[in-house]
């Protein structure tokens, strides 16, 4: 009887082993991250759980959630993973104001459910980008136009060039704009609340401190890396008298005070990139490299961050994005070890206009030189607007405007090769996605 019982135990172990071998993993599956996707069509936030074992997505209860404003363009997660911030651009009205524009804060609750908290307003007009510093203690918002008239803070155009309206419109002769600006906030990491940081270096005409930091004309993108803030501008510069022909595609570099959040220009002149049309700017996970996407020439610039934030071009930069037949790179990410760079290519016609979309993949050498990953480019959903690595460093996702999907890929940490998720590759969103972020706070 003892031998018979022993045989039954052995048989049970064999069957159990067989079951383990017949599936992907015997590891107990769990939610490794929450993935949030903003969409401007219905002003919503799609919310998904990310499976640890497979990377597959499932809807979070209550999803989609309202974005808290109009036309959500970007979203970011706090350093603790407990708060989601959504940048709602707002709808431009005939009087020049933006209805529904704000920074909406949500707490990330149990099961990834979002609960609306406070909303905040940037100092300038036409907010388009934002980002945290490395510790999450400061938030910087990029505004297209600085407020120049206390009696009419929404005014953004003039038919006369002046000190308040020095920037020629990039498309219309005889129209002038204010410079752009960066609005800075300190962040309470415990509550998620924001507090405005005033500019202690410049004052208004009545002697009060400015509520923003002026930058160049026609801002494009903003990136916060290491102890610096980089702002890309399309130009033309205030000193010029022309318009479209004076496009310069520059980057302003600001030192970030880690105690106060104040910004200080580190050079007297901006960096001229020679790009035809900057679409996106980002940094490696380590902060050692800054990457600038030139969708006009279908290439990527690579820079090291030197003393005082001076960007120094990497050998052989810019690198052609010829591996992608779709082209039009508009978003980028690196893996957590800064070994691989991935570009989301929306397609050749416009940022949201082509069904043939791909992910370009590069290895990042120790000197910042880029080389194509074997097997790249990798297919993805139609017209991706964002690309990210999940917090567990296993998967790469894009949110795709035309196909209204989130598309997932398994990341090989050794080769950088991307392959399809095991069970299902793409997941439907509500409306057309504009951006995606992930939180690793799942307890």
Work out the number of other CB atoms within 10 angstroms of the CB of residue 27: 9
Cβ-in-10-Å burial (0-12, 13-18, 19+) of 275 comes to buried
Write out pLDDT tens, residues 362-385: 999 999 999 999 999 999 999 999
What CATH number should be reported for the domain holding residue 204?
2.130.10.10
User: pTM to 2 decimals?
Assistant: 0.90
Distance CA 299, CA 292 (A): 9
pLDDT, tens digit, 9 for 90 and up, residues 243-293: 444 558 999 899 999 999 999 988 878 899 999 999 999 999 999 999 999
How many separate helices (H) and strands (E) can be counted in the chain?
1, 40
Range in 4-18, 69-83, 422-436 with the lowest mean pLDDT? 4-18
Q: Strand ranges (DSSP E) for 40-96?
A: 44-51, 57-59, 65-66, 72-77, 83-88, 91-92
- Span 301-323, mean pLDDT? 94
Give the pLDDT confidence score for residue 172 in this predicted structure.
87
In a domain, 109, yes or no: yes
Contact indicator for 425, 372 with CB cutoff of 8 Å: no
Residue 233: give the domain boundaries: 29-439
**Domain assignment present for 14:** no
> What's the CA gap between 252 and 228, in Å, rounded?
10
Torsion angle (degrees, nearest 10) of CA 340, 341, 345, 350: 180
The pLDDT value recorded for residue 350 is 53
Cα distances (Å, whole numbers) of residue 371 to 316, 318, 418: 11, 12, 16
Residue 19 lies in a domain: no
Based on the structure, what is the number of domains in the chain? 1
**Tokens matching residue 44:** 């919503």
Q: What is the residue whose two structure tokens read 């929450």?
A: 34
pLDDT tens digits for range 190-205:
999 999 999 999 887 7
Structural domain includes residue 277: yes
Asked if residue 104 belongs to a domain, the reply is yes
């Amino acid at each position: 009887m003892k031998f018979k019982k022993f045989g039954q135990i052995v048989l049970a172990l064999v069957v159990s082993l067989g079951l383990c071998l017949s599936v992907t993993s015997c590891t107990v599956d769990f939610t490794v991250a929450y993935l949030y996707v903003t969409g401007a069509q219905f002003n919503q936030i799609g919310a998904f759980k990310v499976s640890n074992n497979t990377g597959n997505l499932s809807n979070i209860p209550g999803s989609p959630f309202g974005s808290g404003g109009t036309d959500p363009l970007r979203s970011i997660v706090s350093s603790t993973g407990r708060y989601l911030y959504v940048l709602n651009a707002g709808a431009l009205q005939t009087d020049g104001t933006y209805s529904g524009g704000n920074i909406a804060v949500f707490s990330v609750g149990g099961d990834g459910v979002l609960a609306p908290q406070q909303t905040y307003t940037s100092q300038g007009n036409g907010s388009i980008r934002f980002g945290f510093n490395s510790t999450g203690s400061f938030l910087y918002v990029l505004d297209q136009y600085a407020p120049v008239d206390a009696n009419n803070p929404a005014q953004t155009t003039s038919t006369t060039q002046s000190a308040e309206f020095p920037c020629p419109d990039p498309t219309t002769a005889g129209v002038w704009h204010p410079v752009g600006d960066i609005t800075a906030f300190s962040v309470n990491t415990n509550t998620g609340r924001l507090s405005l940081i005033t500019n202690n270096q410049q004052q208004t005409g009545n002697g009060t401190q400015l509520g923003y930091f002026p930058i160049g004309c026609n801002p494009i993108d903003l990136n916060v890396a290491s102890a610096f803030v980089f702002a890309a501008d399309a130009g033309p510069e205030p000193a010029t008298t022309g318009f479209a022909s004076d496009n310069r595609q520059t980057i302003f570099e600001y030192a970030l005070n880690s105690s106060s959040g104040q910004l200080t220009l580190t050079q007297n002149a901006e960096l001229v990139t020679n790009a035809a049309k900057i679409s996106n700017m980002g940094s490696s996970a380590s902060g050692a490299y800054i990457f600038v996407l030139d969708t006009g020439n279908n290439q990527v610039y690579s820079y090291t961050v030197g003393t005082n934030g001076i960007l120094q071009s990497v050998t052989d930069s810019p690198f052609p994005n010829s591996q992608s037949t779709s082209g039009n790179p508009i978003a980028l990410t690196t893996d957590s070890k800064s070994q691989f760079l991935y570009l989301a290519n929306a397609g050749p016609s416009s940022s949201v206009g082509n069904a043939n979309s791909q992910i370009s993949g590069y290895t990042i050498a120790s000197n910042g030189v880029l080389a194509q990953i074997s097997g790249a480019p990798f297919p993805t959903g139609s017209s991706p607007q964002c690309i990210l690595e999940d917090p567990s460093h296993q998967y790469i996702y894009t949110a795709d405007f035309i196909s209204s999907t989130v598309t997932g890929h398994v990341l090989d940490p050794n080769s950088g090769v991307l392959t399809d998720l095991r069970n299902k590759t793409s997941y439907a969103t509500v409306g057309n996605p504009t951006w995606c972020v992930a939180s690793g706070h799942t307890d």
